[in-house]
Structure 1
Amino acid sequence: MKNILVPVDFSNTSAAALSFGTYLAKIMDLDLKAVHVFDANFSFAQVVSTGALLAEKERLTEKLNDFTQAHALPVLATFQGNLETLPTILTEVFEGSPPKMIRRLSERVETELVVMGGMGAGKSDNPPWLFGGVAREIGLRGGCPVILLPPGYSSPSVNRVAIAFGDAEDIKKTSLTTRRIIKALRPEVRFVHVSQNTQSFERENEEYFLSLALEPGFPSNTFSYDSLPPGPVAHSLLNYARDEKIGLLVLNHRKHSLWEDLFLKNHVKPLLRHSEVPLLIVPVTDQN
């Protein structure tokens, strides 16, 4: 069965990710898999035996099981009377490089969605590159959609979703993911666009957006549309999300395109670093 993957570093934000991931797993009819990846090169000051690695893995497995139960079970308890539809909760500990290992897990066919802490949300006793590196790697190069939670996030519910887009065509390529999440969360839905091109392009882009809204499979049948004035995309979206009290900001990014590096540098990376609201990042390719 498809699952939601929650990478855990035992920080407060990964506790929030477990709660939110459990909530989503229940309402989206998915299983939940909590994972912890430890790097033996960081965990030990010197080369250790296979037995020591196995002992460390057993210790972390017990810690992960306890942590997962502490933060997932209270969420499941709120669904009393629906015990037959509760998600299966799995845990697993891996040894290796956290960014690489979690990216591989995100590429597995059974992984529907990743929910994790964003950049700057990791445990303070980890080196600064460790969990921030995972968030950046999965957010920009993961194999499936990912929700990144900012530091201090605690609420497992979302009342208002904003779907940001540049070219209206990309809405079609992310509709399957966004529609399923919107159907589960039932939030107020907004589409937001930061003007960047000529007036003729912007007019055609808006007309195309409105035509897409009439087609079956559009992310939401009810929505509002906000067109923001020209300006730095990341800065405009960050201010918009804060001022409009957005509970989840949806972004797409193109993978393996000629414009990927420029797009990631100018738009997605600043949002990953500075967003005060959860981000849903949906990878887009020409094959979507």
Structure 2
Amino acid sequence: MNRRDKTNVSDFILVGLTDSEEIQLVLFNLFLLIYLITVLGNAGMILIIRLDLQLHTPMYFFLTHLSFLDLSYSTVITPKALENLLTANKHISYGGCFSQMYFFIFLAVTECFILSSMAYDRYVAICNPLQYAVILSTKVCCSLITASYIFGFIASIITVLGMNTLHFCNSNVIHHFFCDTSPILALSCTDTHNVEIIIFILAGSTLVASLIIVSVSYVSILSAILKISSTSGKQKAFSTCAAHLLGVTIFYASMIFTYLKPRSSYTLGKDQVASVFYTIVIPMLNPLIYSLRNKEVKNALIRVVLKRGNTGHLR
């Protein structure tokens, strides 16, 4: 209660991406289409992996959680963005804003470490294929997933607690389409230096630690692939990690562009474009990347459809 007494705002206004009603309508239709594809794609990926026993492997165990995270953090951001584009009511409560921030950071940080775990999975599959099942046992996979969620929780709770120490005395207008840290820091009427340092350290350590794991894994993978004598063998080895490498590149590039820089270099237009990309577009792209470039997923989908069709026919 003391914290809220020092803050003159009870809610915030999310300005969004544009003031033009025509552009807002176009963006609403576009974002709605993307969100529907995101929900269908990620939910479908989870369902296929659950139903097909041949996909009950460490790689697809991690992919299930990646799809869950993409579906979740898209849902944290997109519905509110759609509401703001369609209606004149652009308000979000103080608690709702910080809750949105908490869940977004929690899910995004967790995704960083899930992607790292998937890189390690590809490293073991290519560099130590005979010991794959032993190294990546069920216990190890569950431990990696649990650690990813714990890191996400710690990073998000520290960030939100730090942001909650700020005072907002005058304006409550957030020049963004969701409650991200940079535009909220810009609203504070108190010194934000310490909070900025905390956010930079958390974002930096998360991205650097996960990128080190990814980089070391792929350097080892590349080294192993170059030692393969046959061209077909090299192509097969590379195809097993191409989808993950593409997904990692897109995700980390947009995150580094947005968060690993001081607030003094924050530019509204460029940061909003990057934010749209990693909050709305990437969750849609991941299931497409991992399905369209993956024969196992395509074959599993065919098996699931045929199995369901045969079951319905027998009934």
Task: Give the TM-score normalised by structure 1.
Answer: 0.28
The structure richer in strand per residue is: 1
Higher-Rg structure is 2
Task: Give the TM-score normalised by structure 2.
Answer: 0.26
Structure number with higher relative contact order (C-alpha < 8 Å, ≥ 6 residues apart): 2
